[in-house]
Amino acid sequence: MTDLLFYIFAGITLISALIMVISPNVVNGAMCMIISFVGTAALFVLLEAYFLAVLQVLVYAGAVMVLFLFIIMLLDADKDASRLLKDKMTLAGSIAGFALLVVLVCAAFVGGQHLPEPALLPVMENPTGEGPGIPFTTSAKSFGYSLFTKYMLPFQLTGFLLLAAMIGVIVVSKKHEEPTGEKK
Amino acid sequence: MTVGLNAFILVAGLLFAIGLLGVILRKNTLVLYMSLELMLNAVNLALVAFSRYNGSMDGNLFVFFIITVAAAEVAIGLAIIVALFRLRQTVMVDQLTALSR
């Protein structure tokens, strides 16, 4: 049953991502991108990373894509969308590169003989936080435990990065002032 | 579940390839940017799969940080695109050739 779900969600993710890339209409592409993100969240659920699945839907499919759609509407970016297939050299080159990468990926991972195929490890329901490493758990509690012990410094740096991004957005999107104006 | 690690990594690799196709094929900066997000997403999927099959939480934590950094990056990047549009009235990369002249 979960195998069938894996194939369904992988198919949805890949096909909607491909439609996003080749769709001449940017708004349709953004909608397919949302479907692709939700499909990835479903794959996260199949991998029993429930917290990340929720985060994926909230942050990517929610906040990020709403921001994208807002900017697409604001800039009216799809008014000359019919020029996608005009440049034959770019088309041929990019499709050749895509085909090479797909062949490489398929040669590396199809067949199951190239990477070792580890069995699924048992998932701890309620971590105690003891032991050297942090074992894979399904509870969001282990995120909190890891973020405040092993990953304390990256966590603080990420918070600082968000602050810097916020200030940067305010500075970048301010109205362009006259260069002859007063110096700050 | 009999679907193994290789199947998840295959999906992640194909997703990455589709994102790369978008980056080198499209001319619209916004679609380019969405393709970049798709590539980040593919890496997230690979990290979660490795984390699950290794029985370690580290990959999930990396994905957590990647999602945060990607959100910050999208905010900054879209602000830059809006500033660019305000300056040049276009978001097509084949018309933004001021540096190549």
A47–B9 CB contact, under 8 Å: no
- The stretch A142-164 carries a mean pLDDT of 90
**CA A60 to each of CA A64, B37, B67, B72: distance values in angstroms, whole numbers, following the listed order:** 5, 9, 8, 11
Residue A183 has pLDDT above 60, yes or no: no
Interface test with B, best of A48, A75, A125, A169 (most B CBs within 10 A): A75
Residue A160: pLDDT band with limits 50, 70, 90: very high
Angstrom distance (rounded) from CA A92 to CA A171:
40
Distance CA B71, CA A109 (A): 30
Q: Is the pLDDT of residue A76 over 80?
A: no
Structural domains in chain B? Answer: 5-100 (1.10.287.3510)
Tell me, what's the pLDDT at A89?
86
Name the helix (H) or strand (E) containing B23.
Answer: helix B5-25
Residues B63 and A150: their CA atoms lie apart, in Å, by 15
Strand partners, A104: none
Integer CA distances (angstroms), A124 to A30, A157, B9, B50, B89, in order: 37, 29, 23, 17, 54
Cross-strand pairs, A124: A137
Average pLDDT over residues A110-136: 67
Residue of A60, A145, A163 best to disrupt the B interface, most CBs of B under 10 A? A60
| Residue A70 confidence (pLDDT) above 70 | yes
- Predicted confidence (pLDDT) per residue in A22-54, tens digit: 888 889 999 999 999 999 999 999 998 899 999
User: DSSP label at A55?
Assistant: H
Cβ pair B26:A172 closer than 8 A: no
**pLDDT digits 0-9 by tens, A93-106:** 989 999 999 999 88
Please state, as a whole number, how many other Cβ atoms lie within 10 Å of the Cβ of residue B19.
23
Higher pLDDT, A131 or A86: A86
Residue of chain B whose Cα is closest to the Cα of A18: B18
Query: For the segment B43-65, what is each residue's pLDDT rounded down to a tens digit?
Result: 999 999 998 888 888 889 999 99
Structural class in CATH, domain A1-78: mainly alpha
Contact B57 A137 (CB under 8 A): yes
Q: Domain spans of chain A?
A: 1-78, 139-173
Q: What's the pLDDT at B53?
A: 87
Confidence category of residue A180, pLDDT binned at 50, 70, 90: low
Mean pLDDT of A137-145: 81
The C-alpha of B88 sits at a distance from chain A's nearest C-alpha, in angstroms, of 12
Tell me the HSE value of A113 on the side-chain side, using a 13 A CA sphere.
Answer: 2
ipTM for the predicted complex comes to 0.92
Q: Which residue has the higher pLDDT, A165 or A88?
A: A165
8 Å CB contact between A69 and B33: no
Mean pLDDT of A123-135: 64
Are the C-beta atoms of residues A21 and A28 closer than 8 Å to each other?
A: no
Residue A31 sits at the vertex; the CA angle it makes with A28 and A77, to the nearest 5 degrees, is: 50
- Is the pLDDT at A184 greater than 50, yes or no? no
